[in-house]
Amino acid sequence: MGRRYFGTDGVRGVVGEDLTPELVERLGKAATLWWGRGSTLVGRDTRASGAELEEALTRGIVGAGGAAVLAGVLPTPAVALLAQDLGAVVSASHNPPEYNGVKLFDRDGQKLTDAQEEEIEALFDATPSGAGSVERLEGAGETYLRHVVERFGADLSGRRIAVDCANGAYSGLAPQAFEELGAEVVAIGDEPDGHNINVRCGATDLALLAETVRARGLDLGVAFDGDGDRMLAVDEHGSIVDGDEILAILAPALDVDLVAVTVMTNMGFHRLMDEHGIRVVTTPVGDRYVLQALRNEGGVLGGEQSGHIIWLRDHVTGDGLAAALLLCGALGDRTLGEAAATLTRYPQAKENVRVIRREVPNSILDEAARLSRELGDRGRVLVRPSGTEPVVRVLAEAETVEEAGKICATIARLVAQELG
């Protein structure tokens, strides 16, 4: 039947347009009926719309006979870790402040499958029955922080680190973690006002972090997105260190024999893992597909170029803070720049083409496939619709910046002509 409301990562949209309190209430009702009532731990990020949508979600849960356990502002990985019968996060992750959404986790902290989301959508118009309850959970953030520091932290004495909280759910929490481990911390993006989440800060815009590291002469900087499930870094020179490079540092340091990544991962990463004798499993874009592959293959490390880093020893999902602590611990006496330089990257060119409809026609897919065949082992072309925004994403990878840029521009023009 296909999903109407769920995308790559939950239900998401612009508040008041394609995401309304009524829709969120229906989702809360449907998810509760689907699970068979029970308790749902509810967290949210720092968006101005969060409290209203939390209330709507709660109405849906209670109206269907469930118990809503409200934890307030809490990072997404914390909700996954502390989930009761279900976990729900009111968040639009890395999207701008005008967006919001809801992510769901089962009692094991796992994101739902496509099939399970279809089953929930089938209950959107069901008649609710029973009266549930509401309670508030105090101290969830501190409980989560203790778990992460104890399981993933290392001695960071002497490290000088900038921590960008994206004015989101990690504000306050993440700087505290680094300070407890001995680092000297410069916190930025940690003054949320409801309207500044992900705005010129955080993992979606590393310019402020890079400038802070350079201006203060710091060792490195880490940045999270608004709900805390992504993490990227900059080295001592302010140069960006993306998810591919982070995984390239972590995989040998954590002594894994398998790592799961998505189709967006740089070809240079595959070559480096081959040199280390580490098997790479490739999935569609989306951290839940990486998670699924890890569980199917018995692996513990995976992630995305965009900064979703997953480590499943003592955790259930991707966690930005855990990943940042693991990265710092894996450096040893190296700088982040030195560690990241072990990965030789193929040049990539990317373009997000805004479109009216996201169904990519076969003519464009065929042309991308033809160009990939021509490139052979020298590069590739990838075209895919976004699961969270009205854009089609184009990626071209080649041996030179010029060739990658030319191919990307060619495909992007075709997408704009056909779908714009």
**Could you tell me which of 351, 349, 358 has the C-alpha nearest to residue 393?**
351
> Do strands 240-241 and 231-234 pair parallel, antiparallel, or not at all (unpaired)?
antiparallel
DSSP code per residue over 188-245: ES----SS-TTSS-GGG--HHHHHHHHHHT-SEEEEE-TTSS-EEEE-TTS-EE-HHH
pLDDT tens across 255-310, in order?
999 999 998 899 999 999 999 999 999 999 888 899 999 999 999 999 999 999 99
Query: Which DSSP letter does residue 19 get?
Result: B
Over residues 125-136, the pLDDT tens digits come to 999 877 899 999
Q: What is the pLDDT of residues 25-40, one digit of tens each?
A: 999 999 999 998 899 9
Residue 59's alpha-carbon distances to 68, 88, 138, 188, in angstroms, are 9, 13, 20, 35
What is the enclosing helix (H) or strand (E) of 419?
A: helix 401-419
Largest CA distance in the chain: 63
Residue partners of 150: CB distance under 8 A and separation at least 6: none
Main-chain dihedrals φ then ψ at residue 284, nearest 5 degrees = -65, 165
Which position has the token pair 């409301």? 5
Determine the residue type at 386: S
- Residue 377's pLDDT is 83
**What's the pLDDT tens digit per position in 300-337?**
999 999 999 999 999 999 999 999 999 999 999 999 99
pLDDT in tens, 177-236: 999 999 999 999 999 999 999 999 999 999 999 999 999 999 999 999 999 999 999 999
pLDDT of the residue at 1: 57
| Eight-class DSSP state of 378 | G
pLDDT for 302 equals 98
Active site residues: 93
Nearest CA among 407, 415, 364 for reference residue 391: 415
Residues 6+ apart with CB under 8 A from 362: none
pLDDT in tens, 338-389: 999 999 999 999 999 999 887 898 999 999 999 999 998 889 999 998 877 8
Domains and CATH numbers, the chain: 6-138 (3.40.120.10), 142-340 (3.40.120.10), 348-419 (3.30.310.50)
Looking at residue 420, what is its pLDDT? 75
